[in-house]
């Protein structure tokens, strides 16, 4: 037992070392000289995209999350299938679900116009996620930059690493821990479900079969999500304010109005209840912690230095 403990300590120290090295290579000033118009360019493009469709803010935030959870924040989620690459877009968590790729294409084109072959698609995703949250009334944070893009993708990792909506609390905790994120990170990042929508196929079992759900809430959803068919019909993840980034997601959970099984697991008599209570009553705490956890997530295994590449087209390697 002692040997396992010692080995575990060595592994933890090694992981901390490599994580710290990667963290140190990212910088908020990375593009200050090489692309001084970057942040303003992305902000304007996101502002326009969200003005065109409020839901796009949630979509862009989700693309960043799905990118980071598959072999790190390296833009792999953006790669299309080709004769040499099987991308991640057809993975179960992404297929007919993940969206916003055209918006990322537009942002990339606009960024290329002000500084060609300089800014990675992975960094564009990180900035766009922050700007999307801000546009919908949420907190801001300083995005650390300097990621490079992968030339490969992993369909299998996308199917394995992204927690499904059927996850229990223990599964959620494990999925986030596998990425170096804490239980606190998991609970606060789940609060991203204060915006966006989910497909009927992902909450049908919950509204028809589960008992820890508000009865009137479940009934209200059934007209748009019948027991069979209509898999792609949408319902908001946050019933109260679906287009505003606020703390009402946690208020929903306390009323047993979590749309997904995995949502309600955060307030179901378990270890996450206390943190949900705090966020439901104090939005400022949620905002502060969300900003910090987004930075943590953005630091998952970035490619830096001479690793990877700066893609000219986010959909394919150079």
Structure token pair of residue 77: 């989620």
Q: What does the alpha-carbon distance between residue 252 and residue 212 come to, in Å, rounded to a whole number?
A: 12
First to last CA, the chain: 49
Neighbours of 125 (CB within 10 A): 31
Interaxial angle between packed helices 121-135 and 101-114, expressed in degrees from 0 to 180 and rounded to the nearest 10: 110
Q: What does the alpha-carbon distance between residue 154 and residue 85 come to, in Å, rounded to a whole number?
A: 9
- 310 closest CA partner among 25, 112, 99: 112
Q: Is 66 a catalytic residue?
A: yes
Q: Which of 64, 66, 193, 261 is catalytic?
A: 66
In 226-275, beta strands by DSSP E: 234-236
Q: What does the alpha-carbon distance between residue 316 and residue 275 come to, in Å, rounded to a whole number?
A: 41
DSSP string, 44-97: HHHHHHHHH-THHHHHHHHHHHHHHTTTSSSSGGGPPP-SS---STTSTTTTTT
Torsional class of 146: left (φ above 0), alpha (ψ -120 to 50), beta (otherwise): left
Segments in the chain forming alpha helices (H) = 2-25, 38-52, 55-68, 101-114, 121-135, 155-161, 169-177, 183-189, 200-209, 215-222, 248-254, 261-264, 273-281, 283-298
**What is the total residue count of the chain?**
318
Q: What does the alpha-carbon distance between residue 301 and residue 299 come to, in Å, rounded to a whole number?
A: 6
Q: Which residues are catalytic?
A: 66
């Amino acid at each position: 037992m002692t040997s396992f403990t010692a080995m575990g300590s060595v592994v933890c120290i090694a992981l901390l070392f490599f994580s710290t090295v990667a963290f140190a290579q990212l910088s908020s000033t990375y593009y200050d000289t090489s692309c001084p118009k970057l942040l303003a360019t992305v902000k304007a493009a996101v502002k326009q995209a969200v003005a065109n469709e409020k839901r796009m803010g949630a979509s862009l935030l989700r693309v960043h999350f799905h990118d980071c959870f598959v072999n790190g924040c390296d833009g792999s989620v953006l790669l299309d299938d080709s004769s040499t690459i099987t991308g991640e877009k057809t993975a179960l968590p992404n297929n007919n679900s993940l969206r916003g790729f055209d918006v990322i294409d537009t942002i990339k084109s606009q960024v290329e116009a002000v500084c060609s072959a300089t800014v990675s698609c992975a960094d564009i995703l990180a900035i766009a996620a922050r700007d999307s949250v801000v546009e919908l009334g949420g907190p801001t944070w300083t995005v650390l930059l300097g990621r490079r893009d992968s030339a490969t993708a992993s369909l299998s990792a996308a199917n394995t690493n992204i927690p499904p909506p059927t996850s229990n609390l223990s599964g959620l905790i494990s999925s986030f821990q596998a990425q170096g994120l804490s239980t606190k990170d998991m609970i606060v990042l789940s609060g991203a479900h204060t915006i966006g929508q989910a497909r009927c196929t992902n909450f049908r079992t919950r509204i028809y079969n589960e008992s820890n759900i508000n009865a009137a809430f479940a009934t209200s959803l059934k007209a748009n999500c019948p027991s069979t068919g209509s898999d792609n019909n949408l319902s908001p993840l946050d019933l109260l304010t679906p287009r505003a980034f606020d703390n009402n997601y946690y208020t929903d959970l306390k009323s047993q109005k979590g749309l997904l099984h995995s949502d309600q697991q955060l307030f179901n008599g378990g270890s996450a209840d206390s943190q949900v209570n705090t966020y439901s009553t104090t939005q400022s705490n949620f905002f502060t912690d969300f900003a910090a956890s987004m930075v943590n997530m953005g630091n998952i295994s970035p490619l830096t230095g001479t690793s990877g590449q700066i893609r000219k087209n986010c959909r394919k390697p150079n």
